[in-house]
Amino acid sequence: MDPHLLRTFVAVARLASFSGAARELGYTQSAVSQHIAALEGDLRAELLTRRPVAPTAAGVRLLEHAGPLLLRLDAARADVLRLAAAPPGRVTLAASPLAVGPRLLAALPATGVTLRVLPPAEVPAAVATGGCDLGLVDGPAAPSDPLRLPDVAPLTVTGAGEEELAVLLPEGHPFAGRAAVRLDDLADARWIDAPGIGLPLTAARASVRYEGTDLLALCALAAAGHGLVLLPRRVAEAAGAGVAVPLSAPRLVHRTELLSPGAPTGAAAALAARLTAGSPV
Amino acid sequence: MDPHLLRTFVAVARLASFSGAARELGYTQSAVSQHIAALEGDLRAELLTRRPVAPTAAGVRLLEHAGPLLLRLDAARADVLRLAAAPPGRVTLAASPLAVGPRLLAALPATGVTLRVLPPAEVPAAVATGGCDLGLVDGPAAPSDPLRLPDVAPLTVTGAGEEELAVLLPEGHPFAGRAAVRLDDLADARWIDAPGIGLPLTAARASVRYEGTDLLALCALAAAGHGLVLLPRRVAEAAGAGVAVPLSAPRLVHRTELLSPGAPTGAAAALAARLTAGSPV
DNA sequence: GATGCTTACGCGATTCGTAAAGATC
DNA sequence: GATCTTTACGAATCGCGTAAGCATC
C-alpha cells in the first residue's frame, strides 16, 4: 500500500487506461502495470478489469479510500514544509463565495493579501495542502453550532460570524410578499443546486444545477424563476433582482468559519485576528 | 513520506528512544536512525531533538497528521482485504456501552455473534480497520441530526434509534424532585467526565474523571454525589440508585447509529437490518 | 495488424544489517 | 565508562526501463 502505487491506481482508474496514466505520471506503461500488479498482489484481489479498464468492486472500494488518503498525505507534507519555511510577508486567503462579506472586506489590509475564491468544498483542502495560509468557509448551521467540515487534516477552526438566512424568490412568487417563510412550506419547490457556492441543503430535489462560483449569475437564475436559492439575507437583498424572504424555520443561520493550519503566525495571525474579532463563537 | 518512515517516527516519538522503537518494530537502531534522517531530509526540518529524544515543533505538527493518516491507511487495507475474504458466518459487532440497549438485545440472533464493547471514540476505528463487521455508536445530538463522528474512513452510517436524555442526580439533590431540568440550570454543577462511556458535553467543567466502560460503576459514582452524568433516560432510571430527571432544554436526544464498511453482506446484513428496523432516520 | 497490457531481464538505486565512530551523561 | 545515536560500507532487494510476448479489437 505504498502511496505511489495508490496514486498510480487512481490515475489509471480515472483515465481508464494504463498507458494514459503512464503518460500523466511520467512512467512507462510497464511500470504502471507493475504498480497495479503489486497492489493486486498485496491486497490479494483484482482491482481493475482490463479491456476495458474499469475498477472492480474491490477497486471501487479502494478508490473511496485512496482520495482522502492521498489528500491527507499531501496535507501533512505541505503543513510541515510550510512550518519550516520562513513566514511570508504575503498572505493567501482562500474563501468560499458567500464568505466574502463586509467583515472580510473590512479586515483586509491595504496590501499583501491574495484572495482566492473557491467552492466551499475545496477550501479546507486548499488550506491543508498549503496553497493558502488561511481559509474562510461558510455553510448553514444551527445557531452557534460548528459547521460540518470534511476533516482532511487537523485544522484549527474558529467561528467568524453568523448571519440570518433568506430565500431568494422570483418576483411574483406566491410567497414573495411574506415577511418570512418556513423551509417546510417550500418542500415541493424547485431548488437550484450550486455546489460551487454552497448550502447544499436540498440537492436531492434540485432541478437546475449551477456550476461556478459567481453569485451574480446564481441570483439571476433564481430571480428568473429557474429555482430557489438559500442565501445570507444580506446577499439575497443585495441581489438587485428577485425578492428576499427571511427564513423563520428551521432555525438556521449562515455561519462563517476561519480555518488555519495550526496557530497562524506573522501577517496571517494579524489577518486572522481581524477576521474573528468580536466573533460569536 | 513513506508510511514506514512515518510509523517509525511515531514509535520513536512515543517511546522517546531510537533503540526502543527499533526493538518494538523489529529493526536495528541503525535502520531507525536512517528512517528519521530520511524523513528529516525529505521535509527539510529537524523533527526530533536527540538526547533527550523529543519532537520539535515541526515534529509535533507531523505527529498530529501521522496518527489519522496511518489509521486511514490501515482502514483502507483492512477494508479491501475483508471485501476479498469470504463472508464469515460469525459476525462481530462493536458497540459503545450506551448503545447496548433493548433494541440491540432484541436484534441479536441466537448464535454467531460476538459483541465487543468499546469506548465510543474507538468504535469507528474498530469497524474501519476490520476488527469488527458492524459498529453501534451513540452520542447526544439534536433530534434527527446525525452524530459528529471522526471520519477515519468512508463508513456507511445509518440511524438506529433516538431516546430521551436524563440527568442522573444523587438523592437529595435540590433538583431531584423536579419533573425536568434544563442544562443551563446545571451550568455550575460538577460533572463526571467519562470518555469511555460517552456524552463528553461538559468535559471542561468536569471534576471527576472516570475511565472505563462499566455503566454500573459510573451510575454508582453519580448516585454517591461525585458529579452528575447525562444518560439515556432509560439507563438513568434503571440505575437503581440516584434520581433520573429528564432533560427539557436544550432539545437533545440520545442517538444511536450503525456503522458498516460499505454495504453489509451475509449474516452482517441481516443483523444490520434488524438493528435499523423502524429507525427514525 | 494496430493498440494496449503483461512478462522477462538487466541496471541502478534503495534499504537494511554489521561494525566502528562519535556524542552525551 | 556506559549508553545511545550517527556514519561507513557491503549485500540483498527493489523499482524502473527496454524489449519481447500476448491478447483483444
The per-residue pLDDT for B259 is: 93
Closest CB to A72: pick one of B43, B72, B148.
B72
Q: What is the pLDDT of residue A110?
A: 56
* Residue A197 backbone dihedrals phi, psi, to 5 degrees: -115, -40
Q: What is the pLDDT of residue B199?
A: 65
Q: Hey, which residues does B138 pair with through a beta bridge?
A: B256
Q: Residue A77 and residue B62: Cα distance in Å, rounded?
A: 8
Of the candidates B234, B275, B269, which has an alpha carbon nearest to the alpha carbon of residue B257? Answer: B275
Q: What is the DSSP string of A33-53?
A: HHHHHHHHHHHTS--EETTTT
Chain A interface, best mutation among B1, B83, B145, by max A CB count within 10 A: B83
Q: Cell 474573528 appears where? A: A276
User: CA-to-C1' distance for A27 and C12, Å?
Assistant: 16
Contact B123, B259 (CB under 8 A): yes
Q: What residues of A are in contact with residue B56 (Cβ under 8 Å)?
A: none
Cell readout for B55 is 519532537
Listing DSSP states for A251-265 in one string gives --EEEEEEEESSS--
In this prediction the pTM is: 0.81
Distance in angstroms (rounded) separating the CA atoms of residues B249 and A275: 32
The nucleotide closest to A31 (CA, C1' atoms): D16
Identify the pLDDT of residue A229.
87
Binned average pLDDT, 10 residues per bin, chain A of 281 residues: 94 94 93 94 91 90 93 92 76 87 77 81 88 89 86 86 89 82 81 78 63 80 82 84 84 91 80 77 52
Ranges of chain B whose pLDDT falls below 50:
none
Match 503566525 to its residue by C-alpha cell.
A265
Min CA distance, A174 vs chain B (Å)? 30
Q: Of B134, B131, B96, B91, which Cα lies nearest the Cα of B114?
A: B91
With beta carbons under 8 A apart, name residues in chain B contacting A7.
Answer: none
The pLDDT assigned to A15 comes to: 93
- Contact call for A80 and B73, based on CB within 8 A: no
d(CA B206, CA B98): 20
Q: What is the pLDDT of residue B9?
A: 95
CA of B28 to C1' of D8 (A): 16
Do residues B188 and B182 make contact, with C-beta atoms less than 8 angstroms apart?
no
Question: How many other C-beta atoms lie within 10 A of the C-beta of residue A66?
Answer: 21
